[in-house]
Structure 1
Amino acid sequence: MTFLPPQSSESRSTRLKLAIGGLVLGTTLGASAATLAQSEDYPSKPVEFIVPWSPGGGSDTLMRLISNHAEEYLGQPMPVINMPGVSGTTGLKALSKREPDGYTVGQIHEGLLVAHHTGLTPLNWDDFEPVAAVTQSPQYLTVNADSPYTTYEEFVDYAKEHPGEIRFGVTLGGVPHIHAAMMEEAEGLEFRYVGFEGTGSRIRALVGGHIDAAIGDVSSSGEFVKNGDLRFLAVGSAERQEETPDVPTFSELGHPELKLNIVRGLIAPKGTPEDKIAVLADAIQALSEDEDFIQEVKNAGAQVHFEGPEAFADYLETTDETIERLSGKLAK
């Protein structure tokens, strides 16, 4: 018969500690695995997409193209929810109050920055998590086809001879407002501003003759130009656009500083986890390489312009500094 030596209390204590340590380690590893599995399952339900503008405008048209293709690359639908109001800030205020769980995103462009620096909202771009820039849209000086000016030079001459008479449709405190103010400064003009919520409503007003000029784009105004209802006088891109080869750039007309462009992208509530931001950004990057999507965006008068979270944040920060400098011109 073999006898085992009696175990000391110290030995029993050591074995007990090792057993407990192994149990804790196993539990921790199990929790980590569960967290990883949960992250890999994201998204497991639709991701709501708040577009803070009215249906029919440039932002709505382009964001619906993203929505139409999102499920193929994200694995879940991304239904658009229009929340217009107060120059695009109503929907973004709602977005800022959503849970940062990755299941709500919103659309942003330079308009939020303008609204912030003109006092319309305390929110700014850095109150959210940038996800990705997706499109850019050259902006046009647009007038009614029945207007007495057929060229940019004639428009400027008329505006100088009739200060304060041209009814210029803008989104008050928005990007079109600051674009128009840039034109005023460049040419020494004075417009009478009329406010609208979104591009669609002001372009319809321009077609109806209720205003004399507006900032438009191909997606909202191109068909009206083709039909002979409206006329493009100048475009704010660096080069003439393929869709409108006869429309000169502001640079050609002697004003290279008039760079009128809108970059649209996605943001998420502050605090949304980085891994979920990365999943969203990767899906948008894959979408940006889809030839069908590229063509649809082009047909809508814009261009695909992808930037990831960091690059998009850099763009917003730089643009914010410019808008802060110019925003004082809107206080009138």
Structure 2
Amino acid sequence: MTIRAGLAGLFAAASIIATPALAQDYPERAVEFIVPWSPGGGSDTLMRLISGNIQPHLGVELPIINMPGVGGTVGLREASRRAADGYTISQVHEGLLVATETGITDLAWDDFEPIALMTASPQYLVAHPTENYSNFEEFVAYAQANPGDVTIGVTLGGVPHLHAAMIEQAFDLQFAYVGYEGTGERVRALVGGNLDVAIGDVSSSLAFVENGDLMFLAVGSTERVDDTPDVPTFTELGADLELAVTRGIVMPAGAPQEARDRMEAALEALANDPTYIEQTENAGASVMFRGQDAYRAYLSNLDRTVQSLSEVLAP
């Protein structure tokens, strides 16, 4: 009995010692990063900056797998089905909450484990050059005189749809909506002359603006953006509109707490990495880190806001 008791004590001590070791061992291999959007858009660009800079902080690579489709919900559906072992992460933004509210998907933000909010990107109203208008005031006058004639590229049932509807409402306009899967796709359509305007961001549109293929009409930030100092905010133009996309990292529901904590710590370290901060700002976004608890609270509050705008988003 004494020997058995002694062995039991040894095993118990060993298990206590082993528990933190398991947390320290994660991750033992690369963690797959599902980006539910097409290459070239704002989400893809910013997530590649995370993937390209995380290894010194996490210890392993985050290879990106693009899975676009149905407003970002195809990739998120796949992510939700992956093993909850900490070796799959994905990216969400406001689009998931809008897609849930409009019935595009039965997935919801709380079907995942929020790990960290990483960036915020102000959104722009971007236009194809035309003789009909050269600034926002002229655009509003033209759109009001031609209701339903101005085509706007959005992700139907997504955040760009919400933002466009907010612009419509604020300035008494009526757009003709054209749906695209991601920012990169609709900006390319805009450059090709297939749209009049679109909702875009700096990372997808600035190069085209600089070479004269597109023009920024207004930005949804509270203050003018350093990269585009000549572009007025919607607030300056007479509407209290704040249009931004925040992007964060999630894991499948039920992922081990030690894996979530380790990933959160690596992302927080990355959020303080000067190289990453500079690259993110050069891509037209700001680093805005919030850890697990704060990110969960942010998504919960945002969900209530989106629900309050359900009539605007109704098909």
Q: CA deviation at 1:331?
A: 2.1
- Secondary structure at the aligned position of 2:127 is classed as strand
Match of 1:133 in 2: 117
Query: Which of 288, 294, 299 in structure 2 is aligned with 1:305?
Result: 288
Query: Which of 248, 264, 286 in structure 1 is aligned with 2:232?
Result: 248
Match of 2:68 in 1: 84
Larger Rg, first or second structure (1 or 2) = 1
Q: Name which of structure 1's ranges 34-43 and 232-241 shifts more when overlaid on structure 2.
A: 34-43
Query: Which of 180, 184, 187 in structure 2 is aligned with 1:196?
Result: 180
Match of 1:3 in 2: none
Deviations 1:33-75 (A, max 9, x none): 2332222110000000000000000000000000001111100
Match of 2:169 in 1: 185
Q: Name which of structure 1's ranges 135-144 and 22-31 shifts more when overlaid on structure 2.
A: 22-31
Q: CA deviation at 1:147?
A: 5.1
- Please state if 1:323 is matched with 2:306: yes
Q: CA deviation at 1:330?
A: 2.3
Query: Which of 255, 265, 273 in structure 2 is aligned with 1:272?
Result: 255
- Please state if 1:51 is matched with 2:47: no
- Secondary structure at the aligned position of 2:186 is classed as helix
- Please state if 1:259 is matched with 2:242: yes
Contact 1:147/1:212 (<8 A) preserved: no
Q: Supply the RMSD in Å over aligned alpha carbons.
A: 1.0
Instruction: Report the Cα distance in structure 1 between the residues aligned to 2:116 and 2:131, rounded to whole angstroms.
Output: 40
Q: CA deviation at 1:155?
A: 1.2
- Please state if 1:285 is matched with 2:278: no
Deviations 1:143-162 (A, max 9, x none): 01235111111111111111
Q: CA deviation at 1:20?
A: 2.4
Q: Which runs of 4+ in 1 moved over 4 A?
A: none
Q: CA deviation at 1:308?
A: 0.5
Runs of at least 5 residues in structure 2 that lack an aligned partner in the other structure: none
Where do residues 136-215 of structure 1 align in structure 2 (5 Å cutoff)? 136-146=120-130, 148-215=132-199
Deviations 1:285-320 (A, max 9, x none): 111111111111111111111111111111111111
Instruction: Report the Cα distance in structure 1 between the residues aligned to 2:182 and 2:16, rounded to whole angstroms.
Output: 46
Task: Name the amino acid aligned to 2:258.
Answer: D
Task: Name the amino acid aligned to 1:165.
Answer: D
Instruction: Report the Cα distance in structure 2 between the residues aligned to 1:36 and 1:117, rounded to whole angstroms.
Output: 40
Runs of at least 5 residues in structure 1 that lack an aligned partner in the other structure: 1-15
Instruction: Report the Cα distance in structure 2 between the residues aligned to 1:300 and 1:306, rounded to whole angstroms.
Output: 17
Task: Name the amino acid aligned to 1:74.
Answer: L
Alpha-carbon distance change, 147 to 38 in structure 1, aligned in 2, over 3 angstroms: farther
Q: CA deviation at 1:172?
A: 0.8
Contact 1:118/1:328 (<8 A) preserved: no
Superposition TM-score, scaled by structure 2 size: 0.98
Instruction: Report the Cα distance in structure 2 between the residues aligned to 1:59 and 1:232, rounded to whole angstroms.
Output: 20
Contact 1:151/1:233 (<8 A) preserved: yes
Match of 2:26 in 1: 42
Instruction: Report the Cα distance in structure 2 between the residues aligned to 1:196 and 1:271, rounded to whole angstroms.
Output: 33
Contact 1:117/1:327 (<8 A) preserved: yes
Match of 1:9 in 2: none
Task: Name the amino acid aligned to 2:273.
Answer: D
Deviations 1:241-297 (A, max 9, x none): 0001111111111112x1100110100000112221111011111111111111111
- Secondary structure at the aligned position of 2:309 is classed as helix
Instruction: Report the Cα distance in structure 2 between the residues aligned to 1:122 and 1:147, rounded to whole angstroms.
Output: 44
Count the aligned residue pairs: 315
Instruction: Report the Cα distance in structure 2 between the residues aligned to 1:147 and 1:54, rounded to whole angstroms.
Output: 32
- Secondary structure at the aligned position of 1:214 is classed as strand
